[in-house]
A and B are shown apart, each in its own frame.
Chain A
């Protein structure tokens, strides 16, 4: 009986641990989500309403598709695919915590369709997430 109870306890702890560690990306009303092959990511802007020609902050949240935390680093940029040009500014990324990044230096200087390109690197694995945004 004691052995069964111990086993149940171990199972419970494993399940509880998995639930506690399950990674969830930021998902506010203005968050945009995208997925690569391994990871999912969201982009949240501050302010929520991006204005043409005005600087804004970007917060990126990343998790693996199987709910594991993202422990790596990112690079991020944006371009207008139809115009074949990017921004005139190079964003700077600050890691806030595992899977959470704050980026300064975004300025969308034209109205239209923009696309965030997030390059993800963790150890030997790399991935790319593209997220569209209509300004």
Chain B
């Protein structure tokens, strides 16, 4: 009954809007405040204090070369860019990548990661450099060993010399772990430069802020109605909050955790365990400038039963270009995502899951409006 009432309320709000030439004036004071909270974009570009090579031009250049270097894989056949394709928003466009083994999670876009606090669908890493080490070591991905990496640096003296010069570390005397950390930090320095461009929505938000409504002409009335749903009855903005359109945390929205028969992806539950035991987390000896590094999250994150089956709430920036969707790529299109939330199966939600999740029960017009808005992000 509550759902019906909610849907009825939503319809009531929309009845006066559909096809009536909606203007910015339809947004209440409170709605305008929420809209402003989605910007400005981009955010300020602060270096990561846990990575001494962050925002270093030489490190960025070297990190970019390494990003495309297949020699960082066991069989010299796989680089970071093979899955994080620059021509595909640094994702791969596949539900689950099967080009180099059977991935169990969807390949996320690498845009805007410099403003994340957690990395990976389960938040296994608390820094971009730490996350960059994971696929190199993963047997299912690049499967790089310390021996292979050391051989590479022995053979390519120019590369070894460049790494030493940029990092200030004499690599011959260092452990395998240190070598992986250096490569991870160089890769992170490059990935920090991957920032998505301002979008039609950003221009609309700015127009609202400056009251220059003429500069928001590319933002259709349908998109405005979709925005109304997003920040209103849809409650989407509670998780997809702020300029990143993600609060950076984790949620269980009822997507299947089963990988195959007998195999379960525990999501954040496993992620916290991996984070806590990792030598590469922000509390460890490889994190630079410990006095300047924000460590609150890593120190205080705590394993809870509710973490089981939670996955990272993704940023919605560029969302129309980063399908398939969800941690397991199970929803092929953005329309499928909207359908999913419209018909949300409450029985699949854990009792400790978000009580804010309810089926949106959207009409076809409302679905199209929401899609119109999402495509502007």
Binding site for B on A (CB under 8 A): 52-53, 55, 82-85, 88-92, 104-105, 107, 109-112
B75 to chain A, nearest CB (A): 39
Contacts A104-B296, A107-B297: A53 and B355 contacting too (C-beta < 8 A)? no
The residue from A90, A91, A105, A109 contacting B247, defined by CB atoms under 8 A apart: A109
Q: How many residue pairs bridge A and B at CB < 8 Å?
A: 60
A83-B354 CB under 8 A given contacts A88-B301, A90-B300, A110-B238? yes
Contact B249 A109 (CB under 8 A): yes
A82 contacts B301, CB within 8 Å?
no
Which secondary structure dominates chain A's binding surface? loop
Asked whether A83 and B247 contact (CB < 8 A) given A90-B302, A111-B238, the answer is no
Question: What would 22 A/B residue contacts be, using CB atoms closer than 8 Å?
Answer: A53-B241, A82-B355, A82-B356, A83-B238, A88-B249, A88-B302, A89-B296, A89-B300, A89-B302, A90-B300, A91-B300, A92-B299, A105-B299, A105-B300, A107-B297, A107-B300, A109-B247, A110-B238, A110-B247, A111-B37, A111-B238, A111-B241
Does B321 touch A at the CB level, under 8 Å? no
- Which residues does chain B contribute within 8 Å of A84, judged by CB atoms? 355
Given contacts A85-B355, A110-B241, A111-B241, A52 and B247 within 8 Å (CB-CB): yes
Chain A residues with CB under 8 A of B247: 52-53, 109-110
CA distance A85 to B354 in the complex (A): 7
Q: Using Cβ atoms and an 8 Å threshold, which residues of chain B touch A55?
A: 294, 296-297
B306 at the interface (CB under 8 A from A): yes
The 0/1 profile, CB within 8 Å of A marked 1, for residues 84-124 of chain B is 00000000000000000000000000000000010000000
Is B352 among interface residues, defined by CB-CB distance under 8 A?
Answer: yes
Residues of B within 8 A of A92 (CB): 299-300
With a 10 A CB-CB cut-off, give which of B250, B294, B300, B302 has the most chain A CB atoms.
B300
B300 CB contacts on chain A under 8 angstroms: 89-92, 104-105, 107
Query: Is A52 a contact of B242 with CB atoms below 8 Å?
Result: yes
Q: Which residues of B339-356 have CB atoms within 8 Å of chain A's CB atoms?
A: 352, 354-356
Nearest chain B CB to A102 CB, angstrom units? 13
Q: Does B159 contact A (CB under 8 A)?
A: no
Whether B355 and A83, one on each chain, are in contact in the complex, defined by CB atoms closer than 8 angstroms, is yes
Q: Is B10 an interface residue (CB 8 A)?
A: no
6 additional A-B pairs beyond A107-B297, A111-B237, beta carbons within 8 Å, are A83-B354, A83-B356, A104-B300, A105-B296, A109-B249, A110-B238
Q: Which residue of A lies closest to B244 (CB)?
A: A53
Task: Give the chain A neighbours of B354 by CB distance below 8 A.
Answer: 83, 85
**Nearest 10 CB-CB pairings of A with B:** A105-B300, A55-B296, A90-B302, A89-B300, A84-B355, A109-B249, A53-B247, A109-B247, A83-B355, A110-B238
Q: Which residue of B lies closest to A88 (CB)?
A: B249
**CA of A109 to CA of B299, assembled, Å:** 16
Chain B nearest Cβ from A85, distance in angstroms: 6
**Chain B neighbourhood of A85, CB < 8 A:** 306, 352, 354-355
> Closest A-chain residue to B238, C-beta based?
A110
Q: What residues of chain A lie closer than 8 Å to B301, measured between beta carbons?
A: 88-90
Set of chain A residues within 8 Å of B249, measured between Cβ atoms: 53, 88, 109
